[in-house]
Structure 1
């Protein structure tokens, strides 16, 4: 019979995948209010208020200073690190008039055209660094 696996050690392994942020329960708890803010942008009146004064609108939400700054900077990778869910954050870049492709392209450092071509060709190559810790 196998010994039970330490769930915390198991989940920590996800942080070793280069360029990947796995949306865990811990991230969901951390980003709850950021994701609720993003979902509020589904309503036209909230989008208008946000666009009129982003800082004031963000100050109405229980967000950390880091979360607010990441949103203001449109640093979507940082938003993910701070508990944001890409599907909720899509409301932010949609409010900015950006497509999912345009926004995700900025997260990879690639142009939207290069990102789209890579995805059409099957996605990122499995070759290369597979572990941050082991650098291999």
Structure 2
């Protein structure tokens, strides 16, 4: 699953089916807004994933911090970012992961007005 729409290169489409597929995982990510639930998650990440009934693939992606897999499995970047923040990662870091750039390269590209390779 690439998540990209034909005719719109490098554009990830978060549509209804993607939202349904990722709903349990996105619900888990949204729960991380609260300090108490963040502590519960960090105390036993696998058990926390099980409580939200994530699929095996989703659980593996979350535990491995496989950001691209989370996106491919229906994660919304806005919700995935809540997990990245727990790990002290920036949105620019994730942007780099999703575009094949380093965090610094992604930041520089955005400051220069965006990517020119798409």
Instruction: Tell me if both proteins adopt one fold, taking TM over 0.5 as the criterion.
Output: yes
SS at match of 2:5: helix
Is the 8 Å Cα contact of residues 54 and 72 (structure 1) preserved in structure 2?
yes
Confirm or deny that 1:116 pairs with 2:107. Answer: yes
- Report what 2:27 is aligned to: 36
Confirm or deny that 1:20 pairs with 2:25. Answer: no
CA RMSD of aligned residues (A): 2.0
SS at match of 1:125: coil
* Larger RCO: 1 or 2 (CA < 8 Å, sep 6+): 1
- Report what 1:96 is aligned to: 87
Cα gap change, 1:43 to 1:13, in 2 (>3 Å): closer
Q: 1:87-131 CA distances to partner (integer Å, 9 max, x unpaired)?
A: 01111001111121123223333221111011111222255xxxx
TM-score normalised by length of structure 2: 0.87
Is the 8 Å Cα contact of residues 58 and 68 (structure 1) preserved in structure 2?
yes
Q: 1:49-97 CA distances to partner (integer Å, 9 max, x unpaired)?
A: 1112211111111111011111111111111111110001111001111
Q: Distance in 1 between matches of 2:29 and 2:4?
A: 28
Unaligned runs of 5+ in 2: none
Deviation of 1:17 after TM superposition, in Å, equals 4.3
Unaligned runs of 5+ in 1: 1-11, 128-136
TM-score normalised by length of structure 1: 0.76
Q: Which moved more, 1:77-86 or 1:12-21?
A: 12-21
Is the 8 Å Cα contact of residues 38 and 92 (structure 1) preserved in structure 2?
yes
